[in-house]
Structure 1
Amino acid sequence: MARAVILCCGLWQAGAALGLDLNAATEAELDGLTGFGPAFTARVMQARAERPFQDWADFMRRVKGVREPTAWRLSRQGARIQQAPFVASTARVSRD
């Protein structure tokens, strides 16, 4: 049992290191992000269906409820947009 837990943790960390492309992630992969539920997944999938996210600023602008702290939490779990992690200084968002 302990080996299975260690293996699962190792696979999760490897996935985070490789990155989870928010433009290509499946519903199950999005649901697997710690601290994010089905409502978040639905908002991401709906916004992404219109067009792919260009960058983190675009993601935060189009997905309701996502601001810098949320983007940080996603990025720390391996989430990427256009292969880039979240960087606060490059993600200034105008909510017009």
Structure 2
Amino acid sequence: MRTKLPSGFGLLVLLALGIAASGAGAQDVATTEINVANQAELEQVAGLGPQLVERLLQARHERLFASWADAQKRIKGLGPASAKRLSDHGLRVNGQAWSQPTTSPSP
């Protein structure tokens, strides 16, 4: 025996499944560790052009990056907006995604 679904119900189910599937894939971003990736791997990160990669590699040659704040201090052109965008595209510093530094209110 076949049961007929109410009109529009099947479409609603398909729409819900489509939204769930697209949301699940949105978080799947390949990560690239700034302290170990080679030039070619770094250039695969969206937003990391050849000049920024060169500055990054020069700074990393001096010493590894301790944190996002350290990378921002040492790499010209890597401000908060760039750091967030690069992190959103998978760049990591010691396995950490970029996060906006919080400031404590002064007493």
TM-score range, shorter chain: 0.7 to 0.9
Identity between Structure 1 and Structure 2 (%): 38
Structure 2 spans left out of the alignment, 5+ residues: 1-24, 103-107
Residue 78 of structure 2 aligns to a residue in which SS? coil
Structure 1 spans left out of the alignment, 5+ residues: 1-9, 91-96
Residues paired across the two proteins, number: 77
1:23 paired residue among 35, 46, 57: 35
- Residue 32 of structure 1 deviates from its aligned partner by 1.1
Alignment partner of 1:33 is 2:45? yes
Name the one with the larger helix percent.
1
Q: Rg larger in 1 or in 2?
A: 2
Larger RCO of the pair (alpha carbons < 8 Å, separation 6+): 1
Write the deviation string for residues 31-68 of structure 1: whole angstroms up to 9, x where unpaired: 11212211011000000000000000000000001100
Aligned-residue CA RMSD in angstroms?
1.8
Alpha-carbon distance between aligned partners in 2 of 1:14 and 1:73, rounded to the nearest angstrom = 13
Structure 2 length as normaliser, TM-score?
A: 0.66
1:70 paired residue among 79, 82, 97: 82
1:53 paired residue among 65, 70, 95: 65
- Residues 29 and 88 (structure 1), Cα distance of their counterparts in 2 relative to 1, 3 Å cut: same
Structure 1 length as normaliser, TM-score?
A: 0.73
